[in-house]
Structure 1
Amino acid sequence: MEDFVKINQKVDSISEALQTRHSIREFQNQTIPTEILNKLLSSSLRSPSWKNAQPWQIKVVSGKTRDLLSSRLVNAAQSSQPKPETEWLENYPAKAKKRMFDLGMKVYGVAGIDRKDKAARDEFMLNNFRFFGAPTCIIITTTFDLNFFVGIDIGCYVQSILLLAREHGLGTCAQAALGAFPEVVKDVLELPGEEKVVMGISIGYPKDNSNLNQFHAPREEFNDLIKMYS
């Protein structure tokens, strides 16, 4: 495995944050200092959006509310099917499907879960709704129609959070799963009906002694995805 920067060290450049950022699936039980969280979130509001639309609303959930939301989401996942307000894509190109399948198998392998052990895979999936042990989750909502360009804007915002968190020595996991049961989120956070739950981000300090946190998903080669013209 490559010699990556220690996962809870701060970084000094966007390039370093981008190269060393990856999904964290085990967090320390350590509260994020308010001043760091506020600084990170204030900076994130400079994210670009089409015609300065800024279609995002941000809910930062910690403490007792975080515990209640987690409990309710786990119960929903165990007893009902997802009903996201943002349609989850299913028709991916064959190469993308292979990458997604390979990633799942590698993550299960690092977690010590046999691919045939459905009970263990289901239990591992529930960790999404436990925020992988993170002390805080960020829920992203919108009152905009969920079209392609709003999706691009929100994607830009999510990337800002992921890189800013890495700058401060924090880990993140961006999760579509946290939009799977929007009615639960709306009930716990007392959100109006017109506010759509898009997704969430678990955020906190990564565990150092975690095999899962040492795993970095592979990327395609430069020449496979980038073509230069002159």
Structure 2
Amino acid sequence: MNVAEAVATRRSVRAFLDTPVPLETIKRVLDQARMAPSGCNYQPWEAIVLTGAPLKALQDRLSVSERDDPPEYDFSAPSAIDPKYHARLSVLGRHLYGSMGSGRGEKDNREAFARANMVSFGAPVLLLCHFPKAMKEAQWSDTGMWLQTIMLLLRGEGLDSCAQEYMGVYGRSIKDHLGLSDGTLLFCGIAIGHRDPASPANNFERERVPLDENIRFEGF
């Protein structure tokens, strides 16, 4: 698989098979991802990767934990932005929940699906990304590029993923469970495994805006 194919076939997978993922594969991907862009060479990203009994123990902890109030950070979109961004979110919601036959008014079904984040949609591996709270916006950006590099490399290995900002909602519980200090920010998770090809949640059409809606070219 070349880079363009990896980009085109990467998607947020929300239903995984229980097929194990070898440690050697995860290590190979993370070793290659070390070369992701890093301003000032800070390499701010850190992670803990769980599978098997340790992953189950964390999921059991989350099932009885309260959401952080306030959360580690607010990953929701600001209210005072151009309505076009909210429209894009609505498109995603319509396709995602529509693929599963869940209408806007079916609150219980949607809440149950959201809580499936706690078990990473059945993925056998979970990477939990964290870094020191002292890091600023530039280092957050570097970490995002590292995470994207990981997800594309996973596609090259025939694997799938789902980036889970949702894990930040339980940041304090996760940090306490894993022995991370209060000076650490729990940024997100990445669910890793093989997609369930039969799940509607993995097969709805994804939409992106046309290139000229976001990009302007000059001097060509």
Q: Is the deviation greater in 114-123 or in 131-140? A: 114-123
1:167 aligns with 2:156: yes
Residues of 1 paired with 2:12 and 2:52: CA distance?
22
Q: Structure 1 171/82 Cα, relative in aligned 2: closer, same or farther at 3 Å?
A: farther
- Alignment counterpart, residue 43 of structure 2, candidates 33, 54, 57: 54
Matches within 5 A, 1:36-185: 36-76=25-65, 79-80=66-67, 83-91=70-78, 92-185=81-174
Q: Distance in 1 between matches of 2:194 and 2:140?
A: 28
- The code of the aligned residue for 1:206 comes to R
What is residue 6 of structure 1 aligned with on the other side?
Answer: none
Give the letter for the 1:152 counterpart.
S
TM-align CA RMSD: 1.5
What is the CA-CA distance between 1:74 and the residue it aligns to? 2.9
Alpha carbons 1:82, 1:181 under 8 Å: kept = no
Matched AA of 2:105: K
Q: Is the 8 A contact 1:56 1:141 kept in 2?
A: yes
What is the number of residues matched between the two proteins? 217
| Amino acid paired to 1:229 | E
Separation in 1 of the partners of 2:44 and 2:62? 25
1:197 & 1:72 partners in 2: Cα distance? Answer: 16
Offset from partner CA, 1:74-98 (integer Å, 9 cap, x none): 332xx54554322324314311111
**C-alpha distance in 2, partners of 1:82/1:32?**
34
**Is 1:128–1:177's contact at 8 Å kept on the other side of the alignment?**
yes
Cα deviation, residue 209, structure 1: 1.4
**Cα separation, 1, equivalents of 2:189 and 2:136:** 18
- Which of these residues, 204, 207, 227, is aligned with residue 216 of structure 2? 227
Shift in alpha-carbon separation, 1:113–1:198, aligned structure 2, 3 A: same
Q: Structure 2 residue aligned with 1:189, among 178, 194, 209?
A: 178
**For structure 1, which segment, 143-152 or 125-134, has the greater mean C-alpha deviation from structure 2 after superposition?**
143-152
Identity of aligned residues (%): 30
CA distance in 2, matches of 1:82, 1:125: 18
Q: CA deviation at 1:211?
A: 1.5
User: Contact 1:68–1:188 (CA<8 Å) still a contact in 2?
Assistant: no
Given that residues 67 and 170 in structure 2 are in contact (C-alpha distance below 8 angstroms), is that contact kept between their aligned partners in structure 1?
Answer: no
Secondary structure of 1:22 counterpart: coil
Mapped partners of 1:216, 1:111: distance in 2: 13
Per-residue CA shift, 1:185-208, capped at 9, x if unaligned?
112211122121011110101112
Unpaired runs of at least 5, structure 1? 1-11
Deviations 1:83-117 (A, max 9, x none): 43223243143111110122112111112212101
Q: Please list every run of 5 or more consecutive structure 2 residues that lacks an aligned counterpart in the other structure.
A: none
Please identify, of 212-221 and 165-174, the stretch whose mean Cα deviation from structure 2 is larger: 212-221
Stretches (4+) displaced over 6 A: none
- Would you say the 8 A contact 1:55–1:142 is kept in 2? yes
**How far is 1:146 from its partner?**
4.3
Q: Is the 8 A contact 2:44 2:142 kept in 1?
A: yes
